[in-house]
Structure formats: structure tokens, C-alpha cells
Structure 1
Amino acid sequence: MSSLRPAKAGLRTKLFQVIFESDSRLAKGFDVVLILMILASVAVVMLDSVEGYRGAFGTLFYEAEWVFTLLFTLELAARLYCLERPLKYLTSFYGVVDLLSILPTWLALLLPWGQSLLVVRLLRVLRIFRVLRLMQFVGEGRLLIDALKRSWHQILLFLFAVLMIVIIFSSVVYLIEPPEAGFTNIPTAVYWGVVTLTTVGYGDITPVTPLGQFLSMVVMLVGYSIIAVPTGVFSAEVIRSLREQRYSNEACPGCGLDHHDHDARYCRRCGTWLDEETEDPRLSAREDTDT
């Protein structure tokens, strides 16, 4: 959000300070109210999926959903109105989430009621994405997103390797096990492989031959051994992000040491004044003493 700028001075700048910043009491109050609205709207969507609650409070849920949709629509319009480049926000992660949170209700007006129930349910469930908007109110959320961006290549490579392992073992088990055991095709065997590799073990499909059971044990052991790989990669990136938040990359002009605290004024190794744009106060004190 730091790259977003207000459109111009005046009302838009004041709206920007309230909506996108949290320094003032009014801005903090706006964030708190918005968080409560998001939680309440998500609760309405979840309760509306329960048949008993829908039969008793269906009209109330419908009216509450429209109230939330109107409020979120006005809030999104206010966000776009106060920005210098509204399209940039609209195409960002939070902008897309904002659209997903209000579009289903508006699209429901355009869809005839004779449409498939699955389409209507899909539009209703999409409103649950409002809970993702809570990420913008958590400072650590941006840190986790940055860590995911940095480690997604390693995680993608890991998932590709896991997929190859699952396909290989599943194909072997499909050849070994009889169809009566449930392994009627390779996709079904892949389902078994994923369940076994993740050590969930539903038990709906299990090998019956000794060799198939041995392969199951191997797959489960492999699952335990590789489960820590993505966790380690992601944890390393989180630690790296924490260090970058805490330390600056400014190198000491005296000894070249970097990774000082952001509020550090002197090098922790040699004691050199770090801010080259201003004069070292110790030198000024010496000059005053000499004078």
C-alpha cells in the first residue's frame, strides 16, 4: 500500500489518510469498523449455508447481505475516489478481493433464478473472500506475503517433485493391486498416493498385497521425511524478511559493516557516524571545545 498516493490535496487527501493510513484516531476507528463489518458479513454467509438458519432467518440474511454489499461498494468507491491511480489499486491483490466481495451480490440481480443452483451457490460462497481483506490490517501479513513471493520457486519445485513421487508410486501400486481392492484406474491410485503421502490415511482404499502394503509404508515414511522441506524454505524467507525490517542495508563508511538497526547512528563495530548527510555531533562538540 505504500506505493499508493492520494489524488490531490483537499477532500481526497483527507479520505486517503482515513482509509489507507492508521495514524489518526479517525483512521483507526475506520479500520475497526471495517474489520467488524467484514467479520459480520462472513458470519452471515456461513450461517446462511445452514439449512435450519436459512429457513428461520433467510429474509434477515438477505437484507443484511444487501446492507453489507452497499456499504462495501461505497467503501470501494471511496478508495478509488481518493487515489491518484485508482486502476493500480483495482488490479492489485486487495483490489481484486474488494471486487470479489461485492460482485456476487450484484451479479445475482443479472442472473435469472432458473440458473443452475451450483452457479448461485458459487456466487454466494465467493463472498467469503471478504475475510481476506483482514490481511491488510495485519502488519505481519505483508511480511508473510513477501516471504511467499521469494520462496514460491522453491515451493513450486518441491510440489513438482512430490507430484512425480505420487504418480510413480501410484502407478506401481495400480499394477500390483487387484481391481477388487479399489485400484480400478491410475487417477484413483493417485488419490490413494496423495492421501498416503500426506499421512492422512482415510482407509477407503488400501492395498491388500504384501508388496503394496510395503510400498504404502515407504510412501508414508517419505511423506514424513519431506514434510519439513517447504516449512524450512518458508521459515528461512520469513527470517530474512524480519531481518530486513529490523536492519538497514546501509554500509558503514568506516569499516563497511552493514545490517545496522534503522535507528542506529554509529557503527557497532568501529563507532563511525553512519549518517553521511549530517555532521557527527562529536566532531561539533570537539570543535566547540577547541574554540
Structure 2
Amino acid sequence: MASLKTDLYRWLEDSRDGDVVARWINAALILLVLVTVAISVLETVPGIDAASGGWLADVQMVAGLVFLGEYLARLYVADLHPPLRRHGPVAARLRYAVQPMALIDLLAVLPLLLVLVLPVSALPALAVLRLLRFLKLVRYSPALRSLVSAVVGERRALLGSLFIVCGVILVASTLMYMVEHDVQPDVFGSIPLAAWWAVTTATTTGYGDAVPVTPLGRLIAAVVMMTGYALLALPVGIIASAFAREVHSRDFVVTWSMVSRVPLFEDLNAAEVAEIAKLLRSHTVLAGEVIAERGDAAHCMYFVAAGEVQVDLPTETVRLGEGAFFGELALLRQRRRAATVRAVTRTQLLVLDAGALRQLLLRNPHIAARIEREAASREAWGQRSAGDIAEEELTQAEALDIPPDAGSR
């Protein structure tokens, strides 16, 4: 059972490269999302729905069952996520259930559950809910994730641009009301009526149902139209520049989410995590490549962002997965490496150089105390750790059902 749970976690949640089963599962889920969204659109066409003979509804039912199984499976393996392991099985699953992607997965399941309780007259409304399954693609699309991240990251700037747009529309509506309300009371007889003209003009839509006829009114309209281009360019420019930054940094950058997944940093606030992210650099190693050699001088410490590494201790071999960390004790104590560490799979590492570590210790005593406390616990743990890994990592390896000597077989 533990092995099945580990496999499910690797297939559904692990981000490592090269897993054929995970790729096939992701491809099947993506295809199913696209098929159900297309069917939801086709079901709104009376002729197509009637000619289908009910098989479109059957496909939707099967898809709903698949999404339900996926949701339950993700909840089942939620306590294997590195940031959630310490909370226990129940609390880890509750914390996972309120995360954005888990809520999207729940939305994908709701049509299956609601079809059993809603009256027949309400069933067409499920088409809208089924279309929300399209949001599931965010999990599998780096481009969509980058776009969402760009919008969220620039939310304050976008909100500011919205206030500017609203201000321009309000001013334009007021001016046009003052100039045109006597001439066209049915169109510009009040500021709310003039607001419709201001919105269509500022957005360069111009339906033509409200047109100023006085010279001053036309002058105001010309200014509003020219201003409209700037108003549209403002939020578009903000999102475009933010999206470009996200796309350029998509090839494994040091992001807030990566750092926050590391158990050592999971309790830190956003400002502290952001400070650490600035000091870290990314490094990708291929399967079998040596990361640190026993006896080498220590120049940095490592965090496993994705993948798996193998630590060859004097008495045994241990495998560390996502969220694990190693090498800080030799760095802090200025010792040589006591173990050889190599990549088992393609692995993405976050690297904290010696200079960056010293800078971090000086800038943030709170984080320094956490790292020093962890180093002290590793020293006190004894010979088994050999100064490179802690009991926490061995506990995680055992939780993933990885035998300590797996790498020696």
C-alpha cells in the first residue's frame, strides 16, 4: 500500500522529468479536459444534443468519474508533499484541499455531484460549470501558469490602472453631461446616461448610439478617444511586461513557491522567503552526475527542488527527494564533505553559496538561528549523519518507502 501511495504521488504530483507514466497520465487528463469542454459547448446546440442519442452525456459522466478519482487520489497522497508532511495525514489533506489547484479540481467534480441532486430544468446551467474544467490546464501549462503569476504579481498596478480608467470615464461623463444635456437630454440627460457614451468611446468601441453634436462636445469626444488608446495600453503593457519576465524565467528560476516548499523555510513569512530567493541560484544535474564529492571543500549548501539525490555515507546510502537539503553543516563548520552526493534522476537544485549564506546569517538573525539550530541537531545526531544529512531526511525517505541502502543495490 505504501508503494502504491508513493507511485501515485510520483505520477500525480512529482515534477521530476523522465517519468513515462506521469507523462501519459498528464496527457490523458489534458485530453479529457479538452474533450469535456468541447462537449459542454456542443451540448448547448439543440440539434447536436438531440442527434447524439445521449452518448455526449455518457462521456460527461465518465469524465466526471475520472476527475473524481483524480481528486480523491490527490487528497490521498497530499501528506507526502514536503511542506505538508509535518502536519499529519488529516491536517495535511485539509491544507491541501484549500489550495487553489485543489479547489479547481473540486470544481471539475461538482457537475458530477450536482447532476444527481439538481432538477432537470437546472441541468443546462451545468454546462457553465463544466467549462470551468478548462482551468485545470493551468496545472499542466507553463504558459498559463506564467500568465496567472504575471497577473497576480501585478495586481496592484492593474488595480491602479483600473482606478485611472474609472476616473477618466467619470470626468468624461461629467463634462459631456454639462455640454450636451440641453441639446440631447435623452442621451446625455444625466451623468449615468453619459457614462455609457464615455465607456464605449474610451474603449474605442464607439457603437454610434450616442454621439455629441455640439463643437465643444465633439472636442471632448476627440480627447476621450485619444486618451482611450493610452487607457487600453496601460493594463496591456503591465501584463505583457510581467508575462515576458515570467516566460524568460520559466526555465527553473528561483521562485517564491520553490523556496517555500523546502521544509526548513515553510514557516517563514513572504518577506523572509523572498529574501532567501534573492540569494539562491538554480542548478540542474542529470541522473548519475556527482553533486558533491566526499573529501571536497564545502563551498555551498543545496536544496532539492525537484528530483532525487543519493547520499553515500560511510555506513549506508540514503536517498533524498523534493524538499530535502544537505551540505550546510560542512559549510558552517568549514569542514570537508563527509559524503558523496549524486543525482538519481534529473534533479533541480537550489544552491546557496558560502558568501550568500554569510550574507543571509548577517541580515536575518531569525533565519540564521533556524539554520544554526538545524546544524547543531545534525552534529548532535551522531555518526550516522556523517555531518551531511539529518534525521529529518531519513524520516522523509522512510515515509516515501525508500530503503536506506537503495542506492547500493
Q: Which of the five TM-score ranges fits, normalised by the shorter chain?
A: 0.7 to 0.9
Instruction: Give the number of the structure whose residues are more often helix, by fraction.
Output: 1
Given the alignment of the two structures, is residue 98 of structure 1 paired with residue 91 of structure 2, yes or no?
no
Given the alignment of the two structures, is residue 151 of structure 1 paired with residue 146 of structure 2, yes or no?
no
**Change beyond 3 A, Cα 1:95–1:243:** closer
Aligned equivalent of 1:254:
none
**Which letter maps to 1:262?**
S
For residues 109-258 of structure 1, the aligned pairs below 5 Å read 109-113=116-120, 120-175=123-178, 176-177=180-181, 178-179=183-184, 182-183=187-188, 185-241=190-246, 242-243=248-249
The Cα shift of 1:244 comes to: 8.6
The Cα shift of 1:165 comes to: 1.2
Aligned equivalent of 2:346:
none
Aligned equivalent of 1:10:
3
**Which letter maps to 1:64?**
V
Of the three residues 20, 33, 37, the one matched with 1:38 is: 33
For residues 36-115 of structure 1, the aligned pairs below 5 Å read 36-57=31-52, 59-84=54-79, 85-113=92-120
Counterpart contact for 2:173–2:195, Cα < 8 Å: yes
**Change beyond 3 A, Cα 1:209–1:56:** farther
Moved more, 142-151 or 124-133: 142-151
Deviations 1:161-199 (A, max 9, x none): 111211221233234245565345543432322221111
The Cα shift of 1:96 comes to: 1.7
Specify every segment of 5 or more residues in structure 1 that has no aligned partner in the other structure, as ranges: 1-7, 250-257, 265-272, 280-291
| Aligned-pair Cα RMSD in Å | 3.1
For residues 19-38 of structure 1, the aligned pairs below 5 Å read 19-21=12-14, 23=17, 24-38=19-33
Higher RCO, 1 or 2 (CA under 8 Å, sep at least 6)? 2
Deviations 1:196-218 (A, max 9, x none): 11112222333333333222211
Counterpart contact for 1:183–1:189, Cα < 8 Å: yes
Q: Number of paired residues?
A: 253
**Which letter maps to 2:51?**
A
The Cα shift of 1:150 comes to: 1.9
| C-alpha distance in 2 between matches for 1:34 and 1:112 | 29
Equivalent pairs: percent with the same residue?
32
| C-alpha distance in 1 between matches for 2:253 and 2:231 | 32
Moved more, 232-241 or 17-26: 232-241
The Cα shift of 1:43 comes to: 0.4
| C-alpha distance in 2 between matches for 1:61 and 1:187 | 46
For 1:204, what is the secondary structure of its paired residue?
Answer: coil
| C-alpha distance in 2 between matches for 1:246 and 1:18 | 20
| C-alpha distance in 1 between matches for 2:174 and 2:112 | 45
The Cα shift of 1:17 comes to: 0.6
Specify every segment of 5 or more residues in structure 2 that has no aligned partner in the other structure, as ranges: 80-91, 256-277, 285-296, 302-326, 331-409
